[in-house]
């Protein structure tokens, strides 16, 4: 693949902009400046630098972000900063068909919810993760306003009725983790589901953190606001 096309697919701008970056000597491959936009490279596994910033070619982008509180999972946030501003420009500018551009969040977390957020430009992956028939478990650490007791856990496991659906929704797993905290596992994703389920058993959520999706735990060394690429092993763990 021509180097200008590699940069284009990775989100470094239009083909003209990418060609200009190369011609101006801003791109290095294996520590050597490449100034010919049409030079061919094997794309898979290619490591390069653009204006001194290291990058690696990925045919599809799969990343994990540790979402901090006070951010919105929206390209056009209403009140709080967008989580997309925490990503480098190439991830936000990766070309896609249609009007959509860059990676997209796989599901949304409320502005006050923290934790594991997947982002990708793979539409099939997003659909699979969002589809309730695939039953991908998502684990939440919940801090409650009032003490958590065994009766509340029993009701969450048995199923509670939310105001928009007469069919009960059940926790796939639920356990007390402290006097005012519990761990809740869901396999579907309704609007504000954790908060509404906890409210349905007579309590209230004051803190919410997503710690796991599928078999992938939020990396312990990933600080709030940081992101990293997902490995093949990570993706296998998520898919189960």
pLDDT tens track, the chain, 240 positions: 999 999 999 999 999 999 999 999 999 999 899 999 999 999 999 999 999 999 999 999 999 999 999 999 998 888 999 999 999 999 999 998 765 689 999 988 999 999 999 999 998 999 888 776 778 999 999 999 999 999 999 999 999 998 877 889 999 999 999 999 999 999 987 888 999 999 999 999 999 999 999 999 999 999 999 999 999 999 999 987
Rounded Cα distance, 150 and 13, in Å: 55
What is the token pair recorded at 88?
Answer: 């480098």
Residues 148, 179 contacting (CB under 8 angstroms): yes
Structure tokens at 46: 């290619």
Q: How far apart are CA 149 and CA 146, in angstroms?
A: 9
Contacts 24+ apart (CB under 8 A), 125-130: 125/60, 125/62, 128/239, 129/213, 129/238, 130/106, 130/189
Does 3-56 match 137-213 in CATH topology? no
Catalytic residue selected from 5, 110, 122, 149: 110
Q: What is the pLDDT of residue 101?
A: 83
DSSP 56-72: E--SS-EEEEEEPSS-B
What pLDDT shows up at residue 100?
A: 66
Pairing of the two strands 173-178 and 181-186: antiparallel
Report helix, strand or coil for 112: coil
Query: What pLDDT, on a 0 to 100 scale, did the predictor assign at position 98?
Result: 62
Going from N- to C-terminal start, the domains of the chain cover: 3-56, 63-132+221-239, 137-213
Query: In this structure, what are the phi and psi dihedrals at residue 75, rounded to the nearest 5 degrees?
Result: -70, -25
Which among 93, 103, 74 has a CA at the least distance from the CA of 13? 93
Distances (CA, A) of 18 to 23, 28, 32, 55, 85: 9, 13, 17, 14, 22
Q: Residue 163 catalytic?
A: no
- Please state the pTM of the whole predicted model: 0.93
- Residue 163: the pLDDT is 82
Composition of the chain by helix, strand, coil, percent to 5: 25, 30, 45
Bridge partner residues of 217 (DSSP): 212
Please name the CATH architecture into which domain 3-56 falls: Roll (3.10)
Lookup: tokens for 183: 């761990």
Q: State the Cα–Cα distance between residues 34 and 62, nearest whole angstrom.
A: 27
Local structure of residue 199 (DSSP, 8 states) = H
Instruction: Select the CATH number that applies to the domain covering 137-213 from these four: 3.30.310.50, 3.30.420.10, 3.30.70.1560, 3.40.50.2000.
Output: 3.30.70.1560
pLDDT at 99: 59
Q: What is the pLDDT of residue 152?
A: 98
CATH fold of 63-132+221-239: Alpha-Beta Plaits (3.30.70)
- Please name the helix (run of DSSP H) or strand (run of DSSP E) that holds residue 140, with its range, or none: strand 138-144
- The values of phi and psi at residue 92, to 5°, are -85, -15
User: Phi and psi dihedrals of 141, rounded to 5?
Assistant: -100, 120
């Amino acid at each position: 693949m021509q180097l200008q096309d590699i940069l284009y697919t990775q989100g470094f701008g239009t083909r003209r902009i990418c060609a200009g970056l190369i011609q101006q000597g801003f791109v290095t491959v294996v520590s050597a400046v490449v100034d010919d936009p049409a030079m061919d490279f094997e794309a898979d596994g290619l490591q390069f630098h653009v204006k001194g910033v290291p990058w690696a070619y990925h045919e599809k982008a799969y990343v994990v972000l540790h979402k901090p509180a006070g951010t919105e999972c929206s390209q056009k946030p209403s009140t709080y900063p967008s989580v997309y501003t925490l990503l480098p420009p190439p991830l936000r500018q990766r070309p896609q068909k249609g009007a959509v551009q860059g990676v997209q969040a796989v599901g949304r977390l409320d502005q006050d919810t923290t934790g594991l957020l997947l982002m990708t430009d793979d539409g099939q992956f997003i659909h699979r993760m969002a589809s309730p028939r695939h039953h991908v478990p998502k684990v939440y650490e919940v801090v409650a306003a009032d003490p958590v007791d065994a009766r509340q856990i029993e009701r969450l496991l048995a199923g509670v009725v939310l105001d928009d659906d007469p069919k009960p929704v059940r926790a796939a797993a639920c356990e007390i983790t402290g006097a005012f905290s519990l761990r809740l596992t869901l396999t579907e994703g309704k609007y504000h589901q954790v908060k509404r389920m906890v409210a349905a058993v007579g309590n209230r959520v004051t803190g919410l953190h997503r710690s796991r999706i599928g078999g992938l735990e939020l990396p312990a060394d990933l600080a709030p606001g940081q992101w990293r690429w997902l490995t093949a092993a990570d993706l296998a763990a998520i898919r189960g």
